[in-house]
């Protein structure tokens, strides 16, 4: 756990789709965020910071892909360059280092932390595929970035307007041997669907967060068979899918 506070300023806010935008920040000191770890980001005028997993982090530059879902993300979408913002982190446990064939399965803005994984796989010992799911072609984000990272990428849309028609778990299970390792991030039904489909499955969970570093108990997730609970902010957000109940 590293709940260090960083001062930063906005470099750029750019729309990716009608509801998703990138927020690029420059921090006052270098920060290293492992893929799947997250940062708590200040929302001007709000007491609670909001958790986001960066798509990239190089030196003092950190970039997020953020979906507008409520008041905080609306405010972030409207920030001007040079606005100062406080960041806290990096926090939590990200995706583990694994060897051998790897499939990345993301849904919607859940593809964000998987891009951070894809970008750090130059020396990976095995094939890597990505299956990225969206409702329709107009919602597709970060496709070129996955391809630029050298990962064979399949776009899936629920309405069939681009790529495979259907969800990315169906596409991945049809094309990828079950002995591969899977990393998944996206809506809960996607995570439920991928559990048990591959030899090892790691899922990145979301939850409302108060503190982000284990103090407030806002982010508990059940362990299987009544074996207690874990904290998403501290024990996750990435878990072996067998360690948690995906409801
Ligand atoms: C570890 C982690 C990493 C995340 N990474 C990203 C990311 O890279 N990009 C991104 O767009 N979002 C990400 N999120 C989700 C993001 O934190 C929330 O969407 C954001 O905090 C909502 O803030 P708001 O003030 O706009 O929404 P609010 O006004 O607080 O809520 C708006 C709506 O969204 C729901 N909601 C809010 N927060 C969450 C949440 N955490 N989980 C489920 N539903 C929620 C509320 O119930 C409500 O219906 C991440 C969440 C976690 C826990
Ligand atoms: S967000 Fe406070 S304990 Fe997890």
CA angle at residue 114 from 136 to 185, to 5 degrees? 70
Task: Give the sign of the dihedral formed by CA 73, CA 79, CA 81, CA 87.
Answer: negative
- Pick from 178, 136, 172, 169: which is nearest to 151 by CA? 172
Number of domains in the chain: 2
Compute the half-sphere exposure of residue 177: CA atoms within 13 Å on the CB side of its CA: 7
Q: Is the CB of 109 under 6 A from ligand 1?
A: yes
Residue 72 and residue 40 share a domain: yes
Locate tokens 């020396």: which residue? 123
Structural contact between residues 52 and 66, judged by C-beta atoms closer than 8 angstroms: yes
Closest-lying ligand 2 atom to the alpha carbon of residue 51:
1
Does some domain include residue 76?
yes
Residue-number span of the structural domain to which 49 is assigned = 5-91
Residue 160 and residue 76 share a domain: no
Residue 114 and residue 79 share a domain: no
Q: Is the CB of 231 under 6 A from ligand 2?
A: yes
pLDDT reported for residue 191: 97
Residue nearest to atom 36 of ligand 1 (CA): 208
- Pick from 119, 128, 173, 126: which is nearest to 146 by CA? 119
Q: Please state, in angstroms and rounded to a whole number, the distance separating the CA atoms of residues 113 and 33.
A: 11
Alpha carbon 141 to chain centroid, angstroms: 13
Structural contact between residues 194 and 169, judged by C-beta atoms closer than 8 angstroms: yes
Residue 133 and residue 57 share a domain: no
Domain CATH number, residue 165? 3.40.50.80
Residue 200 and residue 107 share a domain: yes
Q: Please state, in angstroms and rounded to a whole number, the distance separating the CA atoms of residues 171 and 166.
A: 7
Structural contact between residues 239 and 207, judged by C-beta atoms closer than 8 angstroms: no
CA angle at residue 73 from 57 to 70, to 5 degrees? 150
Probe ligand 2: pick from 215, 221, 230, max atoms within 8 Å of CB? 215
Does some domain include residue 125?
yes
Structural contact between residues 64 and 41, judged by C-beta atoms closer than 8 angstroms: yes
Q: How far does the centroid of ligand 2 lie from the alpha carbon of residue 167, in Å?
A: 31
Q: Please state, in angstroms and rounded to a whole number, the distance separating the CA atoms of residues 177 and 79.
A: 44
Does some domain include residue 230?
no
Does some domain include residue 223?
no
Probe ligand 2: pick from 217, 230, 236, 239, max atoms within 8 Å of CB? 217
pLDDT reported for residue 122: 83
Does some domain include residue 96?
no
- Among 204, 220, 235, the domain-final residue is 204
Does some domain include residue 229?
no
Report the relative pairing of strands 181-185 and 229-231 from DSSP bridges: unpaired
Q: How far does the centroid of ligand 1 lie from the alpha carbon of residue 22, in Å?
A: 15
Q: How far does the centroid of ligand 2 lie from the alpha carbon of residue 206, in Å?
A: 11
Residue 22 phi/psi, 5° resolution? -100, 140
pLDDT reported for residue 2: 66
Does some domain include residue 183?
yes
Report the relative pairing of strands 152-157 and 164-165 from DSSP bridges: parallel
Residue nearest to atom 31 of ligand 1 (CA): 70
pLDDT reported for residue 1: 55
Does some domain include residue 10?
yes
- Each of the 247 residues of the chain gets a pLDDT tens digit; together they read 567 899 999 999 999 999 999 999 999 999 999 999 999 999 999 999 999 999 999 999 999 999 999 999 999 999 999 999 999 999 999 999 999 999 999 999 999 999 999 999 988 889 999 999 999 999 999 999 999 999 999 999 999 999 999 999 999 999 999 999 999 999 999 999 999 999 999 999 999 999 999 999 999 999 999 899 999 999 999 999 999 999 8
Tokens linked to 200? 């090892």
Q: How many CB atoms neighbour CB 220 within 10 A?
A: 14
Locate tokens 């806290």: which residue? 88
Structural contact between residues 45 and 94, judged by C-beta atoms closer than 8 angstroms: no
Domain CATH number, residue 41? 2.40.30.10
Q: Is the CB of 209 under 6 A from ligand 2?
A: yes
Residue nearest to atom 13 of ligand 1 (CA): 52
**Ligand nearest to the backbone CA of 68:** 1
Q: Is the CB of 233 under 6 A from ligand 2?
A: yes
């Amino acid at each position: 756990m590293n709940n260090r506070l960083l001062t930063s300023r906005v470099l750029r806010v750019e729309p990716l789709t009608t509801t998703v935008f990138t927020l690029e920040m420059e921090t006052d000191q270098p920060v290293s965020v492992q893929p799947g770890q997250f940062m708590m980001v200040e929302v001007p005028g709000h007491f609670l910071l909001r958790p986001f997993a960066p798509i990239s982090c190089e030196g003092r530059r950190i970039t997020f892909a953020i979906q507008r879902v409520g008041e905080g993300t609306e405010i972030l979408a409207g920030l001007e360059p040079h606005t100062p913002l406080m960041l806290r982190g990096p926090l939590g446990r990200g995706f583990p280092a694994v060897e051998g064939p790897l499939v990345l399965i993301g849904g919607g803005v859940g593809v964000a932390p998987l891009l951070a994984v894809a970008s750090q796989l130059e020396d990976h010992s095995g094939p890597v595929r990505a299956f990225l799911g969206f409702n329709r072609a107009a919602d597709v984000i970060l496709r070129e970035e996955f391809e630029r990272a050298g990962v064979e990428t399949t776009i899936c849309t629920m309405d069939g307007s681009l790529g495979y028609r259907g969800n990315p778990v169906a596409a991945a299970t049809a094309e990828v041997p079950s002995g591969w390792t899977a990393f998944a991030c996206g809506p809960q039904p996607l995570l439920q669907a991928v559990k048990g489909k591959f030899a090892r499955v790691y899922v990145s969970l979301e939850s409302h967060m108060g503190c982000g570093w284990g103090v407030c108990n806002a982010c508990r997730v059940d362990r299987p068979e009544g074996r207690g609970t874990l904290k998403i902010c501290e024990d996750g957000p990435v878990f072996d899918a067998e360690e948690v109940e995906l409801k």
